[in-house]
Amino acid sequence: MVTTVSFPGLGLEFELNRVAFSIGGFNVYWYGLLIGIGFMLAGTYALLNARKVGVDSDRLIDVVMVGLVCGVIGARLYYVIFDWETFQGDLSKIFDIRQGGLAIYGGILAGMAGGIIMAKIRKVRVRPAMDLAAAGFLIGQGIGRWGNFVNVEAFGSNTSSILGMTGPKVVGYLTQVKNSGAAWAQSIDPHMPVHPTFLYESVWCLTGFLIIALWLMRRRKYDGQVFLFYTAWYGLGRFFIEGLRTDSLMWGPVRVSQALALVAFVTATALLIWLGQKKKKLGEDFLPLYINTPEGQAVAAGTFYQKAPAPEIHTEQPAEQPEKPSEPEQPAAAPEEENRAE
């Protein structure tokens, strides 16, 4: 499980082991561990900032946990659906995610769906929670992409850049793809360095997180603005990065994630422009921030979900009736003498 990856332009070489550590013979892989670390950091950020947007942190935990479970399931199903040939011969492989095979867009879509449903159940405002989720997604994606580095996957086509990477697994994969006869792969030289697309995406996501955390979150004009920025930001970066990759999930000639990225970028950008213009025209009355409403302030203060004390029920006791004076007892009548017959 040990392999090497080198960056010739930088004079760097790394020896990588996909297994982080073992517990009782059970291997814990870097891929899953890094995704877990990303999730914990994302959740920590969301919980620390929840009340700043009018979301109760205790209820948010339930939303996050449901979103996580749905996200992992969705990410795996998305990957399996668009790479069915790999799994149709052995369906048990579907459940083995320790070695990779999670698609981010599937995780985002399913995680959002599950989270929104749970937010409705737990009476958490959806749009403020989505703003928190947007920042969390970028943390998780930025860190999780390093799992691709350890697995030596999610790399791109040839490059002469100083950042170009290569290694035995890179050469082996590209040789296999080229020998398969794929038209797009015929121009690839397996022995030349390739784009470290995992690195590009990690840097792009973490940069987006810094923009949100240090600037945009403090300047939101309406709930949902941060999520729309995330959708546009990630869509823009993913569109170009996906075009460099050699392992894209395909639907015929279409790179599925690249197409979704384009749709996401165009839609979110259009909404940002339209809502921004309406907000500027209509002022604070249009889509007011939930945290600025009395209800949002109550949530932030931790009083909104408190149960009101039950009203005391006062039962009036009937007025005591004055006791009637007891009548004096009559002396018992003397018994009549019995008439005796003479």
Report CA dihedral (254, 256, 258, 263) to the nearest 10 degrees. 100
**Confidence band for 324, pLDDT divided at 50, 70 and 90:** low
Lookup result for tokens 């405002």: 125
231-270 tens-digit pLDDT: 999 999 999 999 999 888 888 888 999 999 999 999 999 9
Nearby residues of 305 by Cβ (< 8 Å), 6 or more positions away? 56, 59, 123, 299
Domain count, the chain: 1
Decide: residue 84, CB within 10 A, 0-12 exposed, 13-18 middle, 19+ buried.
exposed
Mean pLDDT of 76-103: 80
Give SS3 for 137.
helix
What are phi and psi for residue 5, nearest 5 degrees?
-135, 130
**Confidence band for 329, pLDDT divided at 50, 70 and 90:** low
Query: H or E stretch including 20?
Result: strand 19-23
What are phi and psi for residue 243, nearest 5 degrees?
-65, -20
Residue 310 covered by a domain: no
Residue 216 covered by a domain: yes
Q: Residue 161's domain spans which residues?
A: 31-171+194-301
Residue 111 covered by a domain: yes
Residue 59 covered by a domain: yes
Residue 70 covered by a domain: yes
- The first and second tokens of residue 187, run together, are 């121009």
Nearest to 137 by CA among 199, 216, 57, 71: 71
Residue 23 covered by a domain: no
Residue 112 covered by a domain: yes
Lookup result for tokens 């004390």: 309
CB 68 within 8 A of CB 140: no
Tell me the pLDDT of the chain averaged across its residues.
88
pLDDT at 339: 46
CB 274 within 8 A of CB 255: no
Residue 129 scores a pLDDT above 50: yes
190-201 tens-digit pLDDT: 999 999 999 999
Beta strands 19-23 and 12-17 are: unpaired
Predicted TM-score (pTM) above 0.75: yes
Residue 341 covered by a domain: no
Cα distances (Å, whole numbers) of residue 125 to 59, 247, 270: 11, 38, 24
